[in-house]
Amino acid sequence: MMRIKLLLLGLWIVWGMVSVNAQTHYYKLNSYGKNGTENTNVSGGQFITFQAAICMETDRTGVSIGTGYLTRKNNAPNTYVGSANWGSGTKFVFSSDKSTLTVYAPNGNIFRYTRATAPSNVKTCSLLKGSSPAPVISSGGTGGTPVRKPQTCGICSGSGKCSSCYGRGISSFGHAHVCGACGGTGRCGTCSGSGISGYITEYVY
């Protein structure tokens, strides 16, 4: 019993140290698209939390939104590679002072962000369905019409199916059992089976 208590105490101390050292920043979206065809008439942003050698997409309080995490590359200390809203193989490249972020999505899209103060009504990543909307800011006051464009879920690639059990709701490891990732629903946990992870606002003139 004493050994168990000591183990739990040790885990609690480690968790506390990680929590204290974690830093959460808000990054405002400036543009996205392919190289040479990037759209700057956008709005939105997301929270990124850094913990030791990893970073992840989180809500305002630093709690993961469930899209995975990215690991810092040893030979490039400002580059993180891993799983994010856009799927596995996503690359985050920060400036040395973490003031800017460039996201290279697996599908070739590039998202450019600048660190900023989060609007008070924004609680989580704007790419998530049902997230608090970021304020709409018209570019140059030219009267553009904001249009929300859906973003394909990077976890299920738009299929809406759980990526662990491929939509069956059953996982097999020695014997069949309910999939722990989706709870047996067969639906993707990131987009709730819709195939759409969220929206980006563009301005049409």
Q: Which CATH number fits domain 24-130: 3.40.50, 3.30.750, 2.40.128, 3.90.660?
A: 2.40.128
User: Across 52-123, where does the E strand assignment appear?
Assistant: 54-58, 70-73, 76-84, 87-94, 100-104, 110-116
**Would you say the pTM of this structure is higher than 0.85?**
no
pLDDT confidence of residue 71 = 93
Whether 27 and 114 have beta carbons less than 8 Å apart is answered as yes
pLDDT confidence of residue 55 = 93
Q: Is the pLDDT of residue 185 over 50?
A: yes
pLDDT confidence of residue 140 = 40
Q: Is the pLDDT of residue 123 over 80?
A: yes
Whether 28 and 113 have beta carbons less than 8 Å apart is answered as yes
Q: Alpha-carbon distance 154 to 111, whole Å?
A: 14
pLDDT band at 1 (very low <50, low <70, confident <90, very high): low
Q: Residues 35-87: pLDDT tens digits? A: 777 888 777 889 999 988 899 998 888 888 878 889 999 889 899 999 888 88
Residues of the chain above pLDDT 90, percent: 20
- Domain spans in the chain, listed from the N-terminal domain onward: 24-130
Q: Alpha-carbon distance 162 to 148, whole Å?
A: 25
Q: Residues 161-173: pLDDT tens digits? A: 887 778 888 766 5
Q: Residues 126-162: pLDDT tens digits? A: 665 444 433 333 334 445 666 777 777 767 778 888 8
pLDDT confidence of residue 172 = 61
Greater pLDDT, 19 or 103:
103
Q: Alpha-carbon distance 29 to 33, whole Å?
A: 12
pLDDT confidence of residue 72 = 93
